[in-house]
C-alpha cells in the first residue's frame, strides 16, 4: 500500500517537473517562465525526499527556490520593460538541438538500463542522514568545504568588479 | 557527538594558504592606498608568487588532511608551472594596469592569484570532490578576468562565452564523475580504481556499457577545458576578446590544470580501461582521434588568421594535440613527456603572448600586418618573438623541439613494445606532417617582421616587467632546450609515483 502511494506521488512529481520545465523554455513571458522554474525546482526537491535524501531536498529548496529564483525574479523586476516584453525562445537550431538532446537521452537510458553493475550499498540509510553529512563535512571533507569558501569569495569579488559602475 | 579530525599536517599546504592570504592582502593594500599605486600592487603580486615558489621548494612531498591533500611529483611539477605561468601573466600586465585597467587593479591581480591557488589545489587533490572544486576555483576567476574590459563588447562577449562554455563543461564533467561515484561508491581516486577493478572481475571483464558514457562525459568535460576539438570553438573568440595577459594565462595555466585533471581522472583512475583488449571500454583510441583532429584543425585554420591572438589560439589548440599524444602513451616516458612539453610550452607561449601584449599596449593593434618591419625599429623585441615562435614550431636547439621529440619518442616506444598500439604511428605521422603547416604560419609572422621593405611606424622601448618576462622566456627556451636533464629527471618521477608503472 505504501509502495503504491510512493509510486503515485513519484508520477505526479515527474509530470509536474516535465510540464513545468517545458513551459519554462516555451512561454513568451519571461516572468511566467521564472515562476514555472520555481515550480519545477520544488518538484525536484520532492523527488529527493522520495529518495530519502532529505539534505539534498532542503538544499534544493534553500538554494534554488530560495536564493537563485528570487534573484532571477529581482533581476526581471528591476530591468525596465523586461516583464512585459514578449520573448522568442527558439532559433533556427531548435530542431537540431531537439534531436541531439533526444539522442543523448535515449542513449543514456539504454546504457543505464543495460548495466547491472551498480555498486549498491546494502546497508540501511543512517537514521540521522543530515547529521552524518554534517559530520563528514566537518571531518574528512573539511578541506574541500573550506576551499568552497575561497571559491565563494573569489566569485563575490568578481561579481562586484563586474557589476560596479566605475567613475570615469 | 565525537568529531575525529583527520591528521591535518597544514604545513604541507602552506604555499596555497600563503598565496591566498597574499591575494587578500593585495586587495586590502589596493583599497588602503585609494587605488593610486597600480604598479606597486603588481610588483607585490610578483613578490608573492616568488615567496610561494620558495615555500613550495621547502615544503616537498607529503600528505595533509588525511588523504585529501597529496603532494606527489605530479603535484609539485605542475605547481611550478602554474606559478611560472601566473608570474609571467602578471609581469606582462603592467602596461594594461597603467592605461586601461585603472579602477580595479587590486582585484585584477588578486583574481589571477586566486585562480593560481585553485590550480595548485587541484594538482594536489586526490579525490573527485576536491578535484572538481579546485577546477571551479581555477575557472571562476577567469570568467571575470576575461570580461575585465567592461566597456569593450568583445571582452564582455569573451567573458560570457567562457562562462557559458565553462558551466556547461563543468556540468558534463560532474555528470561523468557522478557515474563513477555510482559505480564505485567512493570519491577517492585510488579506492575508485580498486573498486572498478573488483567490479570488473565480478562481471568477468564486461563492466557494462555505462562506463562508455562515463568516459565520453569525462572526455567532453575535460576536453572543453583543454580546448580539444570538437570542444574548441570557444577558444579563439575568448582569446581574442579577453585582455592579452589573461589569454596567455588561459592558454598555459588553465590548460595545464585541465591536463592535471585528465592525468588524475583518466590516466591514473581509468588506466585499467585503456587497452584495446578492453574494447569497447578503451578510451585511448578515442583520445588519439581527438588529438589528431586537434593537430590538423588547429594548424590548418591558424594559417588563415590575421589577428595574432586568434593565430596563437589556434596554435594552442594544435599544441594540445601534440600533448595528448604523450597522454595516450602509457610507458615510463608518456606522462613525463607531457609534463616536459607543457613546461617548455609555458616559456615559449607566455613569452610570445608577452610580446603581443606589449605591442598591443603601445600600438593598440593585434593584426599581424602591424608587425611589418618591426625588426628595424625594435630589433630585440622582434628577435625575442622569433625565438618564441620557433620554439613553438619545434626548431632545434630550442626547448619546443625537445618537447615534441620526447612526446613522439614516447609514442613510438609504446607502439614498438605493444603491437596493438600501432595506431600511435599514425598519430606521430600526423604530428610530424602538421608541424610543417605550423612552421609555415609561425614563419609568416617572422617574415612580416624581418623581410619587409616598409619601415615600422612604431619604435618600442622596454619597460622593466615586460623585459623581465621576455628574458625569463628566452632563458627558459634556450636553457631547457640545451640542458633538459634536470627537468626531465624530475618529470620522469611522475609516472612511477602515480603507481601504474612499476619499474
Using CA atoms, how far apart are residues B273 and B271, in angstroms rounded to an integer?
Answer: 5
Structure confidence by residue, pLDDT tens digits, B175-203: 999 988 888 888 888 888 888 888 777 77
Chain B residues closer than 8 Å to A151 by CB:
118, 133, 136-137, 140
Average pLDDT over residues B46-72: 88
Using CA atoms, how far apart are residues B64 and B76, in angstroms rounded to an integer?
Answer: 14
Nearest residue of B to residue A118, measured between CA atoms: B183
Q: How confident is residue B240, by pLDDT bands cut at 50, 70 and 90? A: very high
- Best mutation site among A115, A133, A167 for testing chain B: the one with the most B CBs within 10 Å? A115
Chain A residues closer than 8 Å to B129 by CB:
141, 144
Using CA atoms, how far apart are residues A38 and A24, in angstroms rounded to an integer?
Answer: 10
B201 touches chain A (CB under 8 A): no
Using CA atoms, how far apart are residues B184 and B269, in angstroms rounded to an integer?
Answer: 12
B61 vs B204: which has the higher pLDDT: B61
The secondary structure element, H or E, covering residue B488 is helix B485-491
- Residue B175 has a pLDDT of 92
- Residue B200 has a pLDDT of 75
- Residue B119 has a pLDDT of 95
B3 touches chain A (CB under 8 A): yes
Using CA atoms, how far apart are residues B209 and B201, in angstroms rounded to an integer?
Answer: 15
ipTM: 0.89
Chain A residues closer than 8 Å to B195 by CB:
119
Contact B347, B85 (CB under 8 A): no
User: Cβ contacts of residue A107 below 8 Å, gap of 6+?
Assistant: B213
B170 touches chain A (CB under 8 A): no
A163 touches chain B (CB under 8 A): no
User: Which of B51-60, B72-81, B274-283, B289-298 is predicted least confidently?
Assistant: B274-283
Q: Do B185 and A162 touch (CB under 8 A)?
A: no
Q: How far is B343 from chain A (nearest CA, A)?
A: 27
Our CA angle for B90, B91, B97, nearest 5°, is 70
Size of interface A-B (CB pairs under 8 A): 111
Chain B residues closer than 8 Å to A164 by CB:
104
Q: Do B137 and A140 touch (CB under 8 A)?
A: no
Nearest to B109 by CA among B15, B235, B19: B19
Average pLDDT over residues B438-460: 86
Residue B428 pLDDT greater than 70, yes or no: yes
> Which residues 12-51 of B have a C-beta within 8 angstroms of A?
20, 27
- Residue A57 CA, chain-centre distance (Å), reads 10
Q: Do A114 and B27 touch (CB under 8 A)?
A: no
Nearest residue of A to residue B16, measured between CA atoms: A147
Structure confidence by residue, pLDDT tens digits, B360-396: 988 888 898 888 888 888 888 999 999 999 999 998 8
Contact A60, A2 (CB under 8 A): no
B381 touches chain A (CB under 8 A): no
Structure confidence by residue, pLDDT tens digits, B106-129: 899 999 999 999 999 999 998 899
Chain A residues closer than 8 Å to B208 by CB:
114-117
- Residue B280 has a pLDDT of 58
Average per-residue pLDDT in chain A? 85
Length of chain A measured in residues:
168
Q: Do A161 and B148 touch (CB under 8 A)?
A: yes
Q: How far is B98 from chain A (nearest CA, A)?
A: 15
B45 vs B331: which has the higher pLDDT: B45
Q: How far is A8 from chain B (nearest CA, A)?
A: 26
- Residue B205 has a pLDDT of 61
Residue B159 pLDDT greater than 50, yes or no: yes
Using CA atoms, how far apart are residues B51 and B369, in angstroms rounded to an integer?
Answer: 40
Chain B residues closer than 8 Å to A166 by CB:
103-104, 150
**Helices B379-393 and B399-417 sit at what angle, rounded to 10 degrees?**
0
A78 touches chain B (CB under 8 A): no
Q: How confident is residue B206, by pLDDT bands cut at 50, 70 and 90? A: low
Nearest residue of B to residue A168, measured between CA atoms: B103
A107 touches chain B (CB under 8 A): yes
- Residue A122 has a pLDDT of 65
Q: Do B183 and A117 touch (CB under 8 A)?
A: yes
Q: Give B124-147 as a 3 state SS string.
A: HECEHHHHHHHHHHHHHHHHHHHC
B195 touches chain A (CB under 8 A): yes
**Cell triple for residue B374?**
618591426
- Residue B501 has a pLDDT of 47
Residue B36 pLDDT greater than 90, yes or no: no
Q: Do A119 and B4 touch (CB under 8 A)?
A: no
First-last CA distance in chain B: 47
Could you tell me the domains of chain A?
2-117+124-167 (1.20.120.1200)
- Residue B276 has a pLDDT of 58
Chain B residues closer than 8 Å to A142 by CB:
5-6, 65
Q: How far is A2 from chain B (nearest CA, A)?
A: 27
**Cell triple for residue B326?**
604523450
First-last CA distance in chain A: 70
Sign of CA dihedral A100, A103, A108, A111: negative
**Cell triple for residue A159?**
561579481
For A143, the closest of B69, B114, B202 (CB atoms) is B69
Residue B166 pLDDT greater than 80, yes or no: yes
**Cell triple for residue A165?**
559602475
Structure confidence by residue, pLDDT tens digits, B276-309: 555 556 788 889 999 999 999 999 999 999 999 9
pTM score, whole prediction = 0.92
Q: Do A161 and B185 touch (CB under 8 A)?
A: no
Average pLDDT over residues B450-468: 83
Residues A136-144: contacts with CB within 8 Å, 24+ apart? A138/B3, A139/B3, A139/B4, A139/B5, A139/B6, A140/B6, A140/B66, A140/B68, A141/B68, A141/B129, A142/B5, A142/B6, A142/B65, A143/B64, A143/B65, A143/B68, A143/B69, A143/B130, A144/B68, A144/B127, A144/B129, A144/B130, A144/B133
- DSSP character string of B234-268: HHHHHHHHS-HHHHHHIIIIIHHHHHHHHIIIIII
Using CA atoms, how far apart are residues B190 and B196, in angstroms rounded to an integer?
Answer: 10
Chain B residues closer than 8 Å to A121 by CB:
185
Using CA atoms, how far apart are residues A123 and B121, in angstroms rounded to an integer?
Answer: 34
A149 vs B208: which has the higher pLDDT: A149
Q: Do A139 and B5 touch (CB under 8 A)?
A: yes
Residue B6 pLDDT greater than 50, yes or no: yes
Using CA atoms, how far apart are residues B47 and B376, in angstroms rounded to an integer?
Answer: 35
Chain A residues closer than 8 Å to B171 by CB:
none
Q: Do A166 and B210 touch (CB under 8 A)?
A: no
Average pLDDT over residues B318-326: 93
Structure confidence by residue, pLDDT tens digits, A11-50: 999 999 999 999 998 888 888 899 999 999 999 999 999 8
For B210, the closest of A112, A144, A166 (CB atoms) is A112
Residue B503 pLDDT greater than 50, yes or no: no
State percent of chain A over pLDDT 70.
91
**Greatest CA span in chain A, whole angstroms?**
70
A118 touches chain B (CB under 8 A): yes
User: SS3 of B111, please?
Assistant: helix
Using CA atoms, how far apart are residues B378 and B458, in angstroms rounded to an integer?
Answer: 8
- Residue B147 has a pLDDT of 92
Burial of B291 (0-12, 13-18, 19+ CB in 10 A): buried
Strand partners, B213: none
Structure confidence by residue, pLDDT tens digits, B491-502: 888 887 775 544
Amino acid at each position: 500500500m505504501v509502495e503504491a502511494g510512493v509510486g503515485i506521488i513519484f508520477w505526479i512529481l515527474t509530470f509536474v517537473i516535465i510540464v513545468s520545465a517545458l513551459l519554462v523554455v516555451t512561454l513568451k513571458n519571461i516572468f511566467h517562465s521564472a515562476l514555472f522554474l520555481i515550480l519545477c525546482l520544488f518538484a525536484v526537491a520532492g523527488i529527493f525526499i522520495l529518495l530519502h535524501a532529505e539534505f539534498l531536498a532542503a538544499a534544493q529548496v534553500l538554494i534554488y527556490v530560495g536564493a537563485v529564483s528570487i534573484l532571477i525574479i529581482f533581476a526581471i523586476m528591476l530591468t525596465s520593460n523586461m516583464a512585459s516584453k514578449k520573448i522568442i525562445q527558439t532559433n533556427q537550431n531548435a530542431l537540431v538541438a531537439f534531436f541531439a538532446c533526444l539522442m543523448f537521452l535515449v542513449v543514456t537510458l539504454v546504457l543505464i538500463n543495460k548495466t547491472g553493475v551498480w555498486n549498491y550499498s546494502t546497508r540501511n540509510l543512517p537514521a540521522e542522514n543530515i547529521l552524518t553529512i554534517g559530520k563528514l563535512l566537518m571531518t574528512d571533507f573539511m578541506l574541500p568545504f573550506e576551499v568552497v569558501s575561497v571559491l565563494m569569495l573569489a566569485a563575490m569579488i568578481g561579481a562586484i568588479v563586474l557589476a560596479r559602475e566605475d567613475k570615469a | 557527538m565525537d568529531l575525529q579530525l583527520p591528521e591535518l599536517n597544514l604545513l604541507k599546504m602552506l604555499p596555497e594558504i600563503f598565496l591566498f592570504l597574499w591575494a587578500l592582502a593585495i586587495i586590502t593594500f589596493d583599497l588602503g592606498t585609494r587605488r593610486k599605486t597600480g604598479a606597486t600592487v603588481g610588483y607585490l603580486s610578483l613578490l608573492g608568487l616568488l615567496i610561494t615558489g620558495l615555500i613550495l621548494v621547502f615544503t616537498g612531498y607529503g600528505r595533509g588532511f588525511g588523504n585529501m591533500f597529496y603532494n606527489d611529483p605530479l603535484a609539485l611539477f605542475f605547481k611550478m608551472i602554474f606559478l611560472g605561468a601566473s608570474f609571467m601573466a602578471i609581469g606582462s600586465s603592467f602596461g594594461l594596469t597603467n592605461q586601461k585597467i585603472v579602477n580595479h587593479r587590486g582585484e585584477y591581480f588578486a583574481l589571477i592569484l586566486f585562480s593560481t591557488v585553485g590550480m595548485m589545489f587541484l594538482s594536489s587533490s586526490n579525490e573527485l570532490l576536491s578535484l572538481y572544486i579546485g577546477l571551479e576555483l581555477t575557472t571562476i576567476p577567469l570568467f571575470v578576468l576575461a570580461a575585465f574590459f567592461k566597456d569593450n563588447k568583445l571582452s564582455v562577449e569573451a567573458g560570457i562565452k567562457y562562462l557559458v562554455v565553462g558551466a556547461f563543461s563543468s556540468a558534463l564533467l560532474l555528470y561523468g564523475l557522478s557515474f563513477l561515484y555510482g559505480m564505485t561508491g567512493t570519491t577517492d581516486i585510488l579506492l575508485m580504481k580498486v573498486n572498478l577493478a573488483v567490479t570488473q572481475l565480478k562481471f568477468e571483464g564486461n563492466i557494462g556499457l555505462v562506463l562508455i558514457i562515463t568516459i565520453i562525459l569525462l572526455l567532453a568535460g575535460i576536453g572543453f577545458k583543454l580546448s580539444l576539438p570538437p570542444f574548441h570553438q570557444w577558444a579563439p573568440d575568448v582569446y581574442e576578446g579577453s585582455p592579452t595577459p589573461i589569454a596567455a594565462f588561459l592558454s598555459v595555466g588553465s590548460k595545464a590544470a585541465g591536463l592535471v585533471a585528465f592525468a588524475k581522472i583518466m590516466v591514473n583512475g581509468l588506466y585499467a580501461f585503456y587497452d584495446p583488449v578492453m574494447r569497447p571500454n578503451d578510451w585511448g583510441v578515442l583520445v588519439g582521434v581527438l588529438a589528431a583532429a586537434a593537430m590538423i584543425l588547429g594548424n590548418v585554420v591558424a594559417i588563415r588568421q590575421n589577428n595574432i591572438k586568434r593565430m596563437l589560439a589556434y596554435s594552442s589548440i594544435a599544441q594540445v594535440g601534440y600533448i595528448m599524444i604523450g597522454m595516450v602513451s602509457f610507458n615510463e616516458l608518456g606522462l613525463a613527456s607531457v609534463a616536459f612539453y607543457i613546461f617548455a610550452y609555458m616559456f615559449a607561449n607566455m613569452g610570445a603572448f608577452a610580446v603581443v601584449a606589449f605591442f598591443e599596449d603601445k600600438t593598440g593593434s593585434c593584426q599581424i600586418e602591424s608587425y611589418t618591419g618591426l625588426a628595424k625599429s625594435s630589433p630585440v623585441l622582434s628577435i625575442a618573438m622569433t625565438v618564441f615562435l620557433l620554439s613553438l614550431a619545434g626548431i632545434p636547439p630550442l626547448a619546443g623541439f625537445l618537447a615534441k621529440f620526447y612526446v613522439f619518442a614516447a609514442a613510438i616506444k609504446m607502439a614498438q613494445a605493444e603491437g596493438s598500439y600501432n595506431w600511435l604511428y599514425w598519430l606521430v605521422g600526423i604530428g610530424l606532417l602538421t608541424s610543417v603547416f605550423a612552421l609555415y604560419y609561425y614563419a609568416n609572422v617572422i617574415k612580416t617582421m624581418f623581410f619587409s621593405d616598409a619601415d615600422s611606424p612604431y619604435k618600442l622601448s622596454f619597460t622593466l616587467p615586460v623585459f623581465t618576462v621576455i628574458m625569463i622566456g628566452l632563458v627558459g627556451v634556450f636553457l631547457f632546450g640545451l640542458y633538459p636533464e634536470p627537468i626531465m629527471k624530475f618529470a620522469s618521477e611522475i609516472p612511477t609515483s602515480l603507481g601504474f608503472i612499476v619499474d
